[in-house]
Amino acid sequence: MFFMVKTRMAPSPTGEFHIGGMRTLLYDYAFAKKNNGRFIIRVEDTDRERYVEGSIERALQVIKDYGLSWDEGPDIGGPFAPYIQSQRLDLYKKYALDLIDKGHAYHCFCTKERLDELRKAQQAAHLPTTKYDKHCLSLSSEQVQKNLSTDVPYVIRLNVPSDKVLAYDDLFLGKVEFPSNDIDDQVLLKSDGFPTYHLAVVVDDHLMEITHIFRGVDWLASTPKHILLYDFFGWEMPKTGHLPNLKEIGVNKKMSKRFGDVAAAEFLKNGYLPEALLNFLMLLGWNPGTEREVFSLEDFIDAFSLEHIHKTDLVAFDREKLLWFNGCYIRQMEEEALYNRIVAWAQKWGVNIGIDEHDRDYVIKVLALIKDRMKTLVDFVSLSKYFFVDPKVEPAKVRSVAGDKHSEILLGVDRIAAGLSSSDWTKGNLDKEFHDFAKRSGYTSSQALGTARVVVTGEDATPPLADLLEVLGKDTVLRRIRAALSTNSI
């Protein structure tokens, strides 16, 4: 029996690390830290057919990018190294052979053709599930040895007993039972010498002293096979809980790429802050028992408890709620910190944010004006573009604001801009001058300010006009006004 709490996450190099996996990892991490335990990363790379080059390196990096770490793993080692399953093959074979010696597993020499025919026959008989028929279990020891000595390809199968009820107490679902007659004689060791998931995960979780396992409810069907293996080895099974899977709003199945990003890295690439993502993920399957929604990682660890895990199959991944969370985090950041974050994000993901020719102080002033309208870091590009590049002004947009008075309004705006000295170029003076001009000339404020806004920014919705004019500076504003006046179409 193990006394220190130990949890693990075991990414597989069969694709990009899923956002749902990050949620599970977060719960593993929080539970271990809450109980002064250890959190392990282990690479489960035994599915060689679906292996994706570089995906494990990317998975480890994105976990770090989300601000999480581990106490043992493939990159830092630990007392149970190696932490990559493909480097532990001799170990799995040893335990598979041990099961054979105890009568709990057996060599199977059936060809693919025989297995295909067996499956077709069972399907034709309308059986509820297709299962191996234990044909090779009846082979004599002499026949098995002959096949092995002549290198007949084989797998090692679990010998599932009949008429048993396999039960365990799930941390979240309560008591769960499985009839053994519904369970196939699972392959444990494949013909290429690689273990299947079921053998490797049980062996590694035991040897690495894992005490608690959290995984998605879609893995529930695997649990009876693991119950048998723990029983056959004479080992204590870790406490196991199945978490609700993530689903899209209005859809009653697991998240799909069809609805948007599902890879954890894609959310970062698309301008979500890791701390906002973590806060959002905290609440996808757990609640604090209060109305509180905003948690730092440290606060979450302190508040986390298994009693507040949702007992359901699916929990909604509300993308609009995530966007709201991210916007909240952006608005709470100091402009200088936000500047550093945007620059680092742009460099990491190769995004041209168009600020290379402008100094830091100028960009920070821009951020002070637009950050309340930002929901992701990507929004910086669209919301700030006219601060860095002269806009293309659409004549129709100008006329829609001021009608046939646009030219005379624009001349008045030019006079105001030209008449203010650089020292008087403040948002207070600019706001007063524009409103006085509108009142004096008989224009509405929306006509006077709207014309200036469209000509200077190319947009009809911006931060307060006087604020952005102050940041842009007199020279830029005058240049843009006069460019518009020189255009015959305006």
- For the segment 131-160, what is each residue's pLDDT rounded down to a tens digit? 999 999 999 999 999 999 999 999 999 999
Q: Average pLDDT of 271-292? A: 96
CA distance 212 to 232: 20
Q: Does the pTM of the predicted model rise above 0.75?
A: yes
- Quick: pLDDT tens for 210-257: 999 999 999 999 999 999 999 999 999 999 999 999 999 888 888 876
Asked whether residue 268 carries a pLDDT value surpassing 70, the answer given is yes
pLDDT on residue 252:
83
**pLDDT classification of 261: cutoffs 50, 70, 90:** confident
Q: Average pLDDT of 335-361? A: 96
**pLDDT classification of 447: cutoffs 50, 70, 90:** very high
483/490: higher pLDDT: 483
pLDDT on residue 140:
97
pLDDT on residue 49:
86
234: left (phi over 0), alpha (psi -120 to 50) or beta: left
Residues 229, 230, 233: CA angle, nearest 5 degrees: 80
Q: With beta carbons less than 8 A apart as the criterion, state whether 170 and 240 touch.
A: yes
**Residue that has been written with the tokens 């830091």 in this structure:** 360
Please list, residue by residue across 297-319, b when 16 or more beta carbons sit within 10 angstroms of its beta carbon and e when fewer do: beebbebbeeeebeeebbbebee
CA distance 401 to 86: 67
Backbone phi and psi for residue 317, each to the nearest 5 degrees, phi listed first: -95, 90
What type of residue sits at position 187?
Answer: V
Answer positive or negative: Cα dihedral of 82, 85, 87, 92.
positive
**pLDDT classification of 489: cutoffs 50, 70, 90:** low
Burial (CB count within 10 angstroms: exposed 0-12, middle 13-18, buried 19+), residue 193: exposed
Q: With beta carbons less than 8 A apart as the criterion, state whether 95 and 203 touch.
A: yes
CA distance 267 to 19: 9
**pLDDT classification of 488: cutoffs 50, 70, 90:** low
The radius of gyration of the chain's CA atoms, rounded to the nearest angstrom, is: 32
Query: Which residues contact residue 377 at a Cβ distance below 8 angstroms, ignoring those fewer than 6 apart?
Result: 271, 272, 273, 330, 341, 342, 345
Q: Name the residues annotated as catalytic.
A: 257
**To which H or E segment does residue 203 belong?**
helix 197-207
Q: Which two tokens stand for residue 45?
A: 């790379």
CA distance 330 to 373: 9
Locate the domains of the chain by residue range: 88-243, 333-388, 395-485
**Residue that has been written with the tokens 């129709």 in this structure:** 396
pLDDT on residue 48:
85
Which residue, among 239, 243, 244, 245, has the nearest Cα to 168 in the 3D structure? Answer: 239
CA distance 341 to 326: 13
Least confident span in 105-114, 326-335, 404-413: 404-413
CA distance 247 to 253: 6
Burial (CB count within 10 angstroms: exposed 0-12, middle 13-18, buried 19+), residue 452: buried
Q: With beta carbons less than 8 A apart as the criterion, state whether 19 and 261 touch.
A: yes
pLDDT on residue 251:
85
3-class state of residue 67 by DSSP: coil
CA distance 232 to 199: 12
Asked whether residue 206 carries a pLDDT value surpassing 70, the answer given is yes
**pLDDT classification of 400: cutoffs 50, 70, 90:** confident
**To which H or E segment does residue 414 belong?**
helix 406-419
Q: Can you spell out the DSSP letters for 144-192?
A: HHHHHHTT---EEEE-PPSS-EEEEEETTTEEEEEEGGG----EEE-TT
Q: With beta carbons less than 8 A apart as the criterion, state whether 194 and 148 touch.
A: no
**Residue that has been written with the tokens 């168009």 in this structure:** 354
CA distance 143 to 146: 5
Q: Average pLDDT of 295-313? A: 95
Report cis status (omega within 30 of 0) of the bond before 82. yes
Length in residues, the chain: 490
Average pLDDT across the chain, whole number: 95
Q: Which two tokens stand for residue 220?
A: 């529930």
User: Is domain 395-485 given the CATH code 1.10.10.350 in the classification?
Assistant: yes
Burial (CB count within 10 angstroms: exposed 0-12, middle 13-18, buried 19+), residue 188: buried
pLDDT on residue 398:
87
Backbone phi and psi for residue 8, each to the nearest 5 degrees, phi listed first: -150, 155
Fold classification of 88-243 is Rossmann fold (3.40.50)
Asked whether residue 270 carries a pLDDT value surpassing 80, the answer given is yes
**pLDDT classification of 258: cutoffs 50, 70, 90:** low
pLDDT on residue 253:
81
Q: Average pLDDT of 7-23? A: 95
**Residue that has been written with the tokens 């007659």 in this structure:** 181
Angle between helices 197-207 and 223-233 (to 10 degrees): 50
Q: Which two tokens stand for residue 302?
A: 């302190």
Q: Which two tokens stand for residue 464?
A: 């307060």
Q: Which two tokens stand for residue 351?
A: 């995004």
